[in-house]
Amino acid sequence: MSVVAVVPARGGSKGVPGKNLRAVGGRTLVGRAIDAARASTAIDRVVVSTDDAAIADEATRCGAEVVRRPAALATDVASSESALLHALGQVGFAEFIVFLQATSPFIDPADLDDAVARVRSGEADVVFSAVVSPVFLWSPGDSGWQGVNHHASVRLRRQDAPPQVAETGAFYVMRARGFLEHRHRFFGRVVPALVDEHLALEIDTEQHLLLAEALAGAENGAS
C-alpha cells in the first residue's frame, strides 16, 4: 500500500462550529472527503487524523482508518503538516501522500488519480489543486495602493496576462520521502492540477455551506 490519503479533521472550529461534521448534499464534509479518496483508483489507504470522538466514529462509518491526534496537534495554531507527520508516523510506510482537506466538499476522484499519476511518473514532486486566477491584485504601500501582479499603468487583457493560479486547498499529492525530509507540503518540483472552477469552494463560513448545498443540489439535479 504505497499511496496513503490523509484527511486532517479536528473537532474545533471557530468560524463554523462542528464544521467537519456539517452536511453538504446529505453527506458530512469529512464523509465527502473519504468518499472521494475511496473512489480514487490510485489511493490504497484512507486515514482520518482527528482529536474528536464523533469525527472518528463518522470516519469509521464511512470506511476510513482513524489516527487519534494528540490535543497539542489539534489547536488553532497547529499546522496541517504536523498532523500529517503524526499520521504518517502511526500508519507506517507510504511512498506517496494524498493530503485531502474536508473543507473542500467537491473533490473529483479523477483529479486525484491524475495528480497521483503525475507524481508517480516523475513529472513533479508535489501536485496541488488550483484554478486559473486572472485577477489584478493590489496591496498597500508607502505611497498608496500598488499593483502586485501587474503594473498599474498597463491594463492587460486577462487573456494576455501571465499564467497565474490560485490554490483551492482541496488536495496536495506528494512524495512521502520528500515531505518527511522537508516537513512541508511544497518541495522540489511543484506543479498545479487545474480543477473545475465552479466547484473549487472551500468552507470557511456559514454562507459557504449554503452555497455548497446549492451546488450539491444543482449537481444532483443534473445527474
Please give the positions annotated as active site. Answer: 155
The upper half-sphere exposure of residue 183, i.e. CA atoms within 13 Å in the direction of its Cβ, equals 4
Distance CA 18, CA 210 (A): 15
Output the nine-digit C-alpha cell for 180: 518527511
Which DSSP string corresponds to 19-78?
GGG-EETTEEHHHHHHHHHHH-SS--EEEEEES-HHHHHHHHHTT-EEEEPPGGGSSTT-
